[in-house]
């Protein structure tokens, strides 16, 4: 009997052990699976967090974008005999720090940094890339300046070219957008901008603002751009002799508008601004044509109208264009040409004397509209069917303010833009 009772106890114990073993085995498997899942989830969350961090980065260039001074050279490190030093100004609009790992600069122009400085005409036409370096080194930036703190404004990142490379327009040649700058961060984001920045206001006397867009021109100065190569397509700035701080066309027949009487030549240069109010004010009629409008600023109303009395070539003024009693301070818009087809380059105009005056030293702004055409350089590459109109703007992808007809448009659309001035 005792033996029987003992056997019953053994079986119970064995059963218990088996149950316990099964339980522990299941538990260990559950723990293992749980750990694996946790590891997976942890990795997913880590990478998601990295993605969010990357998307949160927000660098923005601030004026002047890049700064260069020919006297600002560096002789330390491997800069032998010296490197030119540039400063990149950027702001961090994000709430987290950003590490810059590389900078790319591609120049669309290889003119000297200052047009009057011969022998320096080497831009980054073949793409320059700047990596991090602890000491000054050609085509590197200082690692100590590569981190931009959260919300830091106007951070200065220092980088170097060698002693022959200078970026075009480094010293205020008056052009803009000649260098494409791309800033790469350690999280894989790329922030780019065109430098020098496009002007957002008029340098001297006035500016026009329409909606979100400011239309501006560069004012007086010592124009150095010779237009003798035009109307053949030329690169922006080529053929120039010297420029002191600004860019504008130097037209032999152009005069500053000092009184109510003025004359000059309006030139067809590349569009670089849009002015959509003209679409409403002067509806396009028909297809395949260009309309031009002259814009002047009124300073004094002497009881007479603003009149353009004569034009030739594409201006085609057979009837004086008049606007009566413009108010002082207002901008007067006069149709001066069109509808025309094709490329038109320049034409003379005259503002009648003894009439309402326009702002002293004000240049005449010519606003154009092109309907239908699509261009590469001065070559028509496509034409939409007659009667078809488009809305929206064409995309400017190259040489946004060049001389001549080197503008590169993609797509077909109505272009509204600011064109020409005389009397720079």
Nearest distance in Å: CB 125, other proteins: 10
Site residues, other proteins (CB under 8 A): 43-44, 46-47, 50, 54, 101-102, 104, 106, 126-127, 129, 182, 184, 186-188, 190, 376, 381, 397-398, 408, 410
Q: Closer CB to other proteins, residue 126 or residue 391?
A: 126
Collapsing DSSP to helix, strand or coil, 315 comes out as: helix
Distance CA(102)–CA(249), nearest Å, equals: 37
Q: Closer CB to other proteins, residue 399 or residue 416?
A: 399
Nearest distance in Å: CB 184, other proteins: 5
Nearest distance in Å: CB 398, other proteins: 7
CB 293 within 8 A of CB 335: yes
C-alpha distance from residue 135 to each of 44, 71, 207 (Å):
38, 19, 45
Q: Closer CB to other proteins, residue 179 or residue 265?
A: 179
Nearest distance in Å: CB 224, other proteins: 25
CB 227 within 8 A of CB 403: yes
Nearest distance in Å: CB 289, other proteins: 23
Distance CA(315)–CA(321), nearest Å, equals: 11
Collapsing DSSP to helix, strand or coil, 12 comes out as: helix
Q: Closer CB to other proteins, residue 238 or residue 350?
A: 238
Distance CA(127)–CA(178), nearest Å, equals: 13
Q: Closer CB to other proteins, residue 44 or residue 281?
A: 44
Q: Closer CB to other proteins, residue 71 or residue 126?
A: 126
Instruction: Look at residues 194, 114, 182, 193 and name the one whose alpha carbon lies nearest to residue 400.
Output: 194
Nearest distance in Å: CB 14, other proteins: 46
* Burial class for 42, CB neighbours closer than 10 Å (0-12, 13-18, 19+): exposed
């Amino acid at each position: 009997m005792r033996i029987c009772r003992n056997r019953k106890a053994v079986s119970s114990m064995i059963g218990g052990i088996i149950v316990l073993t099964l339980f522990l085995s299941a538990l260990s498997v559950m723990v293992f699976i749980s750990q694996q899942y946790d590891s997976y989830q942890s990795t997913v969350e880590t990478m998601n967090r990295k993605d969010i961090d990357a998307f949160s980065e927000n660098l923005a260039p601030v004026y002047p974008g890049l700064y260069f001074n020919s006297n600002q050279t560096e002789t330390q490190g491997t800069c032998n005999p010296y490197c030119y030093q540039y400063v990149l100004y950027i702001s961090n609009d994000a709430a987290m720090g950003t590490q810059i790992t590389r900078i790319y600069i591609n120049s669309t122009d290889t003119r000297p940094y200052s047009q009057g400085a011969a022998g320096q005409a080497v831009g980054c036409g073949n793409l320059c890339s700047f990596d991090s370096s602890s000491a000054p080194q050609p085509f590197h930036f200082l690692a100590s300046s590569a981190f931009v703190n959260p919300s830091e404004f106007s951070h200065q990142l220092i980088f170097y070219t060698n002693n022959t490379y200078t970026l075009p327009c480094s010293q205020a040649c008056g052009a803009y957008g000649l260098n494409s700058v791309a800033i790469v961060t350690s999280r894989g984001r790329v922030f780019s901008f065109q430098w020098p920045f496009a002007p957002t206001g008029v340098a001297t006397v006035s500016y026009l603002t329409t909606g979100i867009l400011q239309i501006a021109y560069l004012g007086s100065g010592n124009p150095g751009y010779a237009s003798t190569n035009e109307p053949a397509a030329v690169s922006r700035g080529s053929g120039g002799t010297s420029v002191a701080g600004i860019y504008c066309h130097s037209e032999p027949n152009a005069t500053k508008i000092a009184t109510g009487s003025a004359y000059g030549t309006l030139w067809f240069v590349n569009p670089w601004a849009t002015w959509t109010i003209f679409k409403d004010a002067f509806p396009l009629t028909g297809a395949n044509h260009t309309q031009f409008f002259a814009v002047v600023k009124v300073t004094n109303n002497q009881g007479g109208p603003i009149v353009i009395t004569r034009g030739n070539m594409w201006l085609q003024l057979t009837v004086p264009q008049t606007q009566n009693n413009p108010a002082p301070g207002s901008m007067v818009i006069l149709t001066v040409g069109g509808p025309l087809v094709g490329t038109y380059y320049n034409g003379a105009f005259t503002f009648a004397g003894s009439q309402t005056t326009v702002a002293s030293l004000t240049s005449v702004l010519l606003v154009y509209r092109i309907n239908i055409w699509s261009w590469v350089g001065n070559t028509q590459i496509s034409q939409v069917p007659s009667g078809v109109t488009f809305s929206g703007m064409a995309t400017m992808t190259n040489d946004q303010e060049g001389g001549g007809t080197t503008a590169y448009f993609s797509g077909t659309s109505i272009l509204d833009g600011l064109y020409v001035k005389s009397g720079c």
